[in-house]
Copies of this chain bind each other. A is one copy, B any other.
């Protein structure tokens, strides 16, 4: 591999000049520029990323911290990641997939982290990954609200989860539904905490009693029930005639499909017998479903893009005065899975 010295020698210039030609941090004459580039091509030279990082103290990579374990991306995550990559590459940054255990952080790091910053997905209450980022002084942005006692002023991008679930409930209640079942996200996630609160508030405001069968939480990623979440719950609750649930709010597309399947097995129809509302559904998939599913567009791609913007701002790559908390708009997209009673 050709080094900068080789190019400098052959092009009859100094190392510094070659460096300037590539980094473009200082102007160089066109003549010299041409000569250097020509020699570089000839020698197959490209600046060494590692050596450059050593002195610039930038790796030009950000970490995408995803839940550890046999993780599963729903369509929501997919589009979210898409947004991250596109935005990061816009600033010349690469994305490093990073799996830090969610529960207990491993023993001390063997070496420093080769990233300039990180986007932390699905934060939990007292998330140890966030504590880690904090103590390691790694700039980070979370997607979802931070609930770590010792970490304050963390940058984050989020939907307004409290309002989201409130609006969904209102939407259904306005259609005459009084007995809702909410298939919430995993209990540890901060989003699920906010959504639960929003659900309860909506019930109270409409003078409805929150019963035990109304709120469920997605099992742990490692659980065998994870993939089926929504099926058993639907069978159990709707199977018992005394619990007259008429509408189900599903956390994501996978959950929604499981619910659909359970409803079919119970010989019920959507939306005639039961209505379904999906929160984080892949929009195109919702249309292809049968019936098409009414859902809340959370703009996952935008969520990803904005989180990168905030991170770039912290890294000094993107100038400007940015707010610490960005709320991404969401809106209800009506399709054919919710009926009026």
Contacts and interface: CB of A to CB of B under 8 A. Distances in A.
Interface of A: 1, 22, 41, 46-54, 59-61, 64, 70-73, 78, 81-82, 85-86, 89, 92, 94-99, 108-114, 227-228, 231, 254, 257-258, 260-261, 264, 284-285, 287-290
A59 B70 contact: no
Contacts of A50: 50, 53-54, 59, 112, 114
A59 B114 contact: yes
Nearest to A227: B284
A234 to B, nearest CB: 12
Contacts of A94: 96-98, 114
B61 A96 contact: yes
A96 B96 contact: yes
B260 A49 contact: no
Nearest to A258: B288
30 contacts: A1-B112, A22-B110, A41-B108, A46-B109, A46-B110, A47-B111, A48-B111, A49-B111, A49-B113, A50-B53, A50-B54, A51-B54, A53-B114, A54-B54, A61-B96, A70-B86, A72-B78, A78-B78, A85-B97, A94-B96, A94-B98, A94-B114, A95-B97, A96-B96, A97-B97, A260-B288, A260-B290, A261-B290, A264-B290, A290-B290
Given A48-B112, A50-B50, A94-B98, A82 B72 contact: yes
Contacts of A231: 288
Contacts of A97: 64, 81, 85, 94-97
Given A54-B51, A82-B71, A94-B96, A46 B288 contact: no
Given A46-B109, A70-B86, 17 more contacts: A41-B108, A46-B110, A46-B111, A47-B110, A47-B112, A49-B112, A49-B113, A50-B112, A51-B54, A53-B114, A70-B82, A94-B96, A94-B98, A94-B114, A260-B288, A260-B290, A264-B290
A304 to B, nearest CB: 12
A61 B113 CA distance: 12
B112 A85 contact: no
Closest 5 CB pairs of A and B: A257-B288, A227-B284, A95-B97, A49-B111, A49-B114
A232 B323 CA distance: 45
A10 to B, nearest CB: 17
Contact of A257 (B48, B78, B289): B289
Contacts of A54: 50-51, 54
A198 B260 CA distance: 36
A69 to B, nearest CB: 9
Contacts of A257: 285, 288-289
Contacts of A70: 82, 86
